[in-house]
Structure 1
Amino acid sequence: MGWIEFITVFAGFYILHSVPVRPPARPWLVARLGHAGFDIAYSTLSLAMLAALFVAVERAPYVPLWPEPPGAHWLVLAAMTAVGLILAFGLFRPNPLSFGGTRNAAFNPRNPGLLRWVRHPVLAAFFLWSGAHLMVNGDVAHVVMFGSFAAFALFGMRIVDRRRRREMGDEVWRQTVVQMRAAPVSRPHAAVLRVAGALAAVVVLILLHPWFAGVGVLGRFLP
């Protein structure tokens, strides 16, 4: 039953992340919920399915493939710190080249901030998170889950790029990317607050890890 539950929830997770965001489902849903309503509903369902998947992967039979490398928890901590910083500087800002942007009409390619290097902050963070956790969870169920997450994030970047190029027009998309890469590096607004928020989020995740992942990790970082 453990494998059946895992496969069922795993399939449901990817159906949720493929069907509602493609035509004709997305236009139909947006027309009835509005853009904000669609984003809220989709995000809520995604988090709920992710939580269900975490439960299912812990219930799946344990079939080891490799042991956790010595000291790997510090690499995971470094990766999660990078995830926090990417999200702190990449979310809630104009970003017409990916999803998750706000006030996209105000986007200035000559002041792109983090987007100069990371066009898709959410997917980049997702890739780092899943890749780091793949390294320290070497059993079949976790490898399937985190490995597919990492592949999903990489392919997702290419898919979103193609979609945005089609929507914006190839020449406009290219010019925007060129301007972003050539833009001078400037200090982001409220950089100290963003860094502090990212670090605080990592600490909270460590403290709450036993509740949402079923494994305590705080002790690994204490003397």
Structure 2
Amino acid sequence: MQDWGGFALAIAAFFASHAVPVRPAVKAWLVARLGRSGFGMAYGLLSLVMLAWVIQAAWAAPFVVLWDQAIWQRWLVNAVMLAAVLLAAFAIGAVNPFSFGGRSSGFDPERPGIAGVSRHPLLLVLLLWAAAHLLVNGDLAHVLVFAPFAAFAALGMRAIDARNRRIWGDAEWDRLAARTSGWPFAALLGGRWKPQSGPGLLRLAIGLAVWGGLIWLHPLVIGMPPLP
């Protein structure tokens, strides 16, 4: 069992690895040498490695219980993760100029697609993942991992919206965002957006397959079965 120093080192390294590469000067230097797609792949791989280190460090940190786990929490986490994985499957590569993970070209404000569900679907995925795992992991180390992720995702949505409004101007922002959602499904509940039929069966199948794969891999990689 390691002490809190190893856990703190993993957390510090994680945030440093995400803060430094996206600084404008550093990012430009890396993109010039790796290419934009190469930078994206390297940054994604680095993120996965650092996340694995943080999770491993949380498991190895001293165990301090803040609340106990209940069986219903595991069922809820699996349901939330199904929603999160499906949301990611429909969001990655979709037309969405409001946040990362989507394409800017071809956006129709009258048919906003995934932006009608959320302008920031991948940040919403991160929020769902972090909040669900925060609920089911009530020890201090895991709370210190998942709570900042949830806060980062929630605050990141507001920060990106504010930046886009500043860059585009109020009139253009209002035009583009009229049928989109800040809160999940707000446009649907407000009558401003309706789901459109489209070629979504492949994305649905991919999402279900990924969710099943995560259920299978979780005990092998994390060491804890996700099913009750």
TM-score, normalised to structure 1's length? 0.89
Q: What percent of counterpart residues are identical?
A: 44
User: Relative to structure 1, is the Cα distance of residues 143 and 33 closer, same or farther in structure 2, using a 3 angstrom cutoff?
Assistant: same
- Structure 2 equivalent of residue 161 of structure 1: 161
| Distance in 2, Cα, partners of 1:22 & 1:211 | 36
Contact 1:109-1:183 within 8 A present in 2 as well: no
Alignment of 1:193-204 (within 5 A): 193-204=202-213
**Secondary structure of the residue that 2:156 maps to in structure 1?**
helix
Distance 1:171 1:27, change over 3 A: farther
Report how far residue 76 of structure 1 moved: 0.5
Change (3 A) 1:188 1:48: farther
Q: 1:170 to 1:19 in 2, by over 3 A?
A: farther
SS in 1 for 2:224: coil
The residue type equivalent to 2:84 in the other structure is: V
Letter in 2 for 1:217: P
1:211 to 205, 212, 220: 220
Runs of 4+ in 1 over 6 A off after TM superposition: none
Gaps of 5+ in 1: none
Comparing 138-147 with 91-100, greater Cα deviation is found at 91-100
CA distance in 1, matches of 2:33, 2:161: 26
SS in 1 for 2:67: coil
AA matched with 1:105: S
Paired residue total: 218
Deviation at 1:213, TM superposition (A): 1.5
> 1:37 Cα shift?
2.0
Q: Distance in 1 between matches of 2:212 and 2:33?
A: 39
Q: 1:170 to 1:43 in 2, by over 3 A?
A: farther
Q: 1:68 to 1:203 in 2, by over 3 A?
A: same
- State how far apart, in whole Å, the 1-side matches of 2:81 and 2:87 are: 10
In structure 2, do the counterparts of structure 1 residues 170 and 212 end up closer, same or farther at CA, with 3 Å as the change threshold? Answer: farther
Residue 33 of structure 1: how far off its partner (Å): 2.8
Map of 2:117 onto structure 1: 117
Identify the residue that residue 171 of structure 1 maps to in structure 2: 171
| Alpha-carbon distance change, 122 to 54 in structure 1, aligned in 2, over 3 angstroms | same
Task: Note the aligned Cα RMSD (angstroms).
Answer: 1.9
Which residue is equivalent to 1:101?
A: 102
SS at match of 1:65: coil
Closer/same/farther in 2, CA of residues 162 and 32 from structure 1, 3 Å limit? farther
Task: Please give the alpha-carbon distance, in whole angstroms, between the structure 2 residues aligned to 1:197 and 1:167.
Answer: 35
Measured in 2, the distance between the counterparts of 1:32 and 1:151 equals 33
What residue number does 1:48 align with?
49
CA distance in 2, matches of 1:62, 1:106: 50
- Structure 2 stretches lacking a partner, 5+ long: 181-186
